[in-house]
Structure formats: C-alpha cells, structure tokens
Structure 1
C-alpha cells in the first residue's frame, strides 16, 4: 500500500504504529508509538501530577481527530498513522494555502466551470484545512463549519443519486424507444404492404366497373337503336294504312 498523496490539509509527521513482522520492542508503548527507552533510570522522587496545560491541546487534537480522522497506510510491512496537525495557522499560512490551491488547480488541469471532480477534491481539501484552522481557535465555530460541510456533501450526494437515477431512467426510456421503434417500423412495413394490396384491389374493382359501364352503355345504345327502328317501322306502317 503506497502512502496517501499530498493534501492541502495540514498533517502532523507520520507516526510508526507497529511492525507486522518483528516483535514489539521494549521502547514501544502500548499503542505502538515510540516511547522513552527502557534503559533510562526510573525517577526516584515523588511523581509530579499531570500538567493541566496539556489538557486543552489534547482535547483539541481529539476533536480534530473526530472531525478529520487520521489517515493510515502500510509501507514495508509497517503501519503508519498521520494525524491532523493541531498547530495554529497564521495569516501567512492562509496566503500560502491559497497559493497552493491555485497551483494545484493549474497543475492538475482542473476545469474552471462545470462539473469537475479534481476541482471539487481540491476545494474539499481546502475547506477541511479551514475547518482545522478555525477549530483550533474556536471549537464551536469548527463544529458549525463541520455541519455546513456535511450538509453540502449530503446535498451533492443527493444530486449525484438523482443524476444517476435520471440517467438510468433515460437509458431505459431510450431502450424502450428503440424497441418500440423497431416494432413501429415493422408495423409501418406491414401497413404499406396492406396498402399496396388494397390499392391493387381498388384498381381491379375500378377496371371491372369501367368494363361493366362500357358494356351496359353499348347494350343501351343497341336497345335504343332497335327501339328507334321499330318506332320508325310502325310509323311507316301506320302511314301506309292511312293512305290505303
């Protein structure tokens, strides 16, 4: 496992927790961190009470570890832990943080607009560093900023879930549309074939109708001619009878 990459969040120097292949040395404390050598003589006088001045710093470190958990990694079969630094920051550190943010945005070619995971990661690291600096000076303000950060992350996660569900919905609709399109193309082809058959039937019926009309017209003409000749014959016969 490789060490974690550099971050805009300030960390304390890494501490060796334990070695996986070697036995714990006498100079290592119960937590695995290096303690005082056992060769030193034990104090003979009364043990002084613990200093109360170190308690605020310990509480601050515990609060920082709760807000920004330490990172761990294994290297050469040894486990290392690196906690967030509890050293207060100055105005010069804030200016340096801004310069580092601009530099890393440029080095990693983060996009200036739109959705960019690189830009979001760097700004998240910068925001965590600001939370660390504020928490050291005022724990209440740090906890309030932590609440704001968590709310922002929850909102972004909700948008990501909504985006993924909308993309999945769009893909399903596209597949349904593609399937429906193939069915519609098949139905269109069948309808066109049916249309051609009906048009052929209409043409046949029109041809039959025209043939019948022509035949009936010719028959009527013949009937009218025969009727006219018969009338003329009867008229001539009637005239002859009148004359005789």
Structure 2
C-alpha cells in the first residue's frame, strides 16, 4: 500500500500499528525514560460524563470515517480522523484549501466535473466531522444527507452511462444499417443500369422491326403500283384491240 493522498477531511497524526494485533488498535509507544527533576503533578481526572461523551464521539467518528492504513518499509501505519474541534480560523483555512485545490486540479466551474465533485465531497465530510464533534446526532443526520446525495449522483451517473451505451449501440446499428443501405443502393443502381440496357436493346429491336416493316410496306406498295400500271396498260391495249376489231365489221 502507498501513503494516502491529501484530503480536505482532517486526520490526526499517523501512528505505528502493531502488526501482530488488530490493525485498528494503534501500537503503544514505549515509555519514556524518567527524567531527573521534580515530578509533575498528575493530571486532574475528568468527569466520567465528559470522558463518555468524548469516547462516544470518537467511536462515531471512526465509524463514519474509517481510519486510513498503509505500509511503509514493512511497517503498518494507521491514521484516524481528527477529533479536534474546528475554529473560525480553521474554517477560513479550509475554504482557502478548497479554492486552491479546485484551481490546482483544474476543476471545471460548470457542468459535470468528477474532480470538483470529489473535492466538494471531501469538503462536506470535513463539515460532518466538525458537526459530529459538537453534536453526534446532527452529524449522523448530515451523514444521511451525504449518502443520499451520493446515491442520487450514482443513479444519475448510471443513467448517463446507460444512455451513452444506448447511444453508442444505436450509432453502431445506424452505421451497420447505413452500410447495408449503401450496398442495397449499389445493387439497385446496377439493376437499374441492367434494366436500362435491356430497355435500350428492346427499343433498338423495335426500331429495327419497324424499319423492316416500313421497307416491306414500301416495297409492296411499289410492286402493287407497278402491277396496277401494268394492268392499266393491258386494259388500254385490249380496248384498242377491241376497237380495231369492231371497226373491221
């Protein structure tokens, strides 16, 4: 594991965990050697109610924000979320850190931006931490709000991904259909050219038939005219012969 990245959520100092025990239990540091000099008086015991509330807040914070763990040179380090209350100066500094992170990571000011969304989620987690220290119940309610927002964002992200996949499938189908239509158009154009060629051939045949029929008709009319002329000459000759014969009697 590598050390975790920086986050707007405030964490405490990392501590060395005991590898033989549970990772959630921090390793107890060795006792310091006694120093010479007057022994300081023991600290005043805190009221049981204060300790119980503090322990409850710590447990709630650890349940809301699990500790981060990583290994470095074979040693396991654990970093719990900070339990220190926030001051006004801390809030001003947190707002400055948010603006600086948005600018450093080049987050978009408008539209869908995963970087801006992640930073604001970290910012919201820090606000939940601060509220939980003062009022655990209010922090739990803010956690419900955060989870609902994340579920809504995840639902919209699923819808967007589904719509993008649907659009990609439709585009692919359109491309495939377009290729099929183009092939069909090419086949129809070739069929059209073939039909036009057949039509031209049939037109040429019709013209040839009409031309031969016209030539035959003209030949027959000419022959018929010659026959008529021959018959007329024959009739005239017969009439002349008949006149000559009748004149002799």
Shift of 1:214: 0.9
Shift of 1:238: 5.7
Which position in structure 2 is the counterpart of 1:174?
A: 171
Structure 1 runs, 4 residues or longer, greater than 6 Å off? 239-243
Shift of 1:140: 2.5
Which position in structure 1 is the counterpart of 2:94?
A: 97
Which position in structure 2 is the counterpart of 1:10?
A: 10
Q: What runs of 5+ residues in structure 2 fail to find an aligned partner?
A: 35-44, 244-249
Which position in structure 2 is the counterpart of 1:201?
A: 198
- Alpha-carbon distance in structure 1 between the residues aligned to 2:151 and 2:172: 31
- Alpha-carbon distance in structure 2 between the residues aligned to 1:170 and 1:150: 30
Which position in structure 2 is the counterpart of 1:61?
A: 58
Contact 2:61–2:132 under 8 Å retained in 1: yes
- Alpha-carbon distance in structure 2 between the residues aligned to 1:172 and 1:109: 32
Contact 2:17–2:26 under 8 Å retained in 1: yes
Shift of 1:232: 5.0
Shift of 1:151: 1.2
TM-score by length of 2: 0.79
Residue number among 84, 88, 93 corresponding to 1:87 in the alignment: 84
Q: Please provide the CA RMSD for this pair.
A: 2.9
Q: Is 1:155 matched up with 2:152? A: yes
Which position in structure 1 is the counterpart of 2:37?
A: none
Contact 2:15–2:26 under 8 Å retained in 1: no
Change (3 A) 1:92 1:32: closer
Larger Rg: 2
Shift of 1:9: 0.7
Which position in structure 2 is the counterpart of 1:226?
A: 223
Q: Mapping of 1:123-138 within 5 angstroms? A: 123-138=120-135
Q: What runs of 5+ residues in structure 1 fail to find an aligned partner?
A: 25-29, 41-47
Number of equivalent positions: 229
Residue number among 182, 186, 189 corresponding to 1:189 in the alignment: 186
Residue number among 54, 62, 72 corresponding to 1:75 in the alignment: 72
Shift of 1:165: 2.4
TM-score by length of 1: 0.80
Q: Which moved more, 1:67-76 or 1:161-170?
A: 161-170
- Alpha-carbon distance in structure 1 between the residues aligned to 2:14 and 2:173: 55
- Alpha-carbon distance in structure 1 between the residues aligned to 2:162 and 2:26: 46
- Alpha-carbon distance in structure 1 between the residues aligned to 2:231 and 2:149: 115
Shift of 1:234: 4.9
Shift of 1:59: 0.6
Contact 1:19–1:77 under 8 Å retained in 2: no
